[in-house]
Amino acid sequence: MTENNEQLTTDNKQPDENNIELLTLSIEDYKNKYLRALADFDNYKKRMTIEREQFVQYANEAIIADFLPALDGFSRALEAAEKSKAGEEIVKGIALIKRQCEDVLKKHGVLEIEALGKPYDPNVHEAILQKEHGGPEGVVIEEMQKGYTLHGRVIRPSMVIVSKKGGK
């Protein structure tokens, strides 16, 4: 009888030990899953923060792009007023309005793309013509329309004329 009792206790101990091992493994598995989910959620929060900041930064891009032709119009009006020798006050008024518009755009992260005399860069320039020129090849020699960036992103490329070597 004692033998039977001993056998029962050892049989009872083995399943308990196996059960404890299984539960420990299960706990470790759940702990790993929890830590992964926590890390995924943290990455998600960081990604959403970056996307929100970018959305705010570039939210006005369409409005600014639509406003740029009006700014071009002020530039052309200023040139025409200066050429036609319009009243000095008119020229000053147009120049003031143009400068105010440029200041507002600059305040919101809009910058003019420098083009004249720079090497042609298809990322920021749109070549509309090539002209023979005495200088180096592939350099912007004329700017037909100014280009602009918004926080480093091109919203309108500069329309330019690029130099090419003269034919002999």
Give the other-Cβ count within 10 Å of 40's Cβ. Answer: 10
Token couple for 96: 């003031």
Strands (E), the chain: 110-112, 125-132, 140-145, 148-150, 153-156, 158-164
Please give the pLDDT value at position 58.
86
Please give the pLDDT value at position 3.
53
Phi, psi dihedral angles at 147 (to 5 degrees): -110, 160
Token couple for 32: 């790993």
Q: Between β-strands 153-156 and 148-150, what pairing exists: parallel, antiparallel or unpaired?
A: antiparallel
Token couple for 34: 């929890």
Cα 102 to Cα 21: distance, rounded to the nearest angstrom: 72
| pTM assigned to the model | 0.69
Residue ranges of alpha helices (H) inside 59-168 are 61-83, 88-107
Please give the pLDDT value at position 136.
87
Give the other-Cβ count within 10 Å of 32's Cβ. Answer: 10
pLDDT (tens place) for every residue of the chain, 168 residues total: 555 555 544 455 566 888 898 999 999 999 999 999 999 999 999 999 999 988 888 888 889 999 999 999 999 999 898 888 778 888 899 999 999 999 999 999 999 999 999 999 999 999 999 998 888 899 999 999 999 999 999 999 999 999 988 754
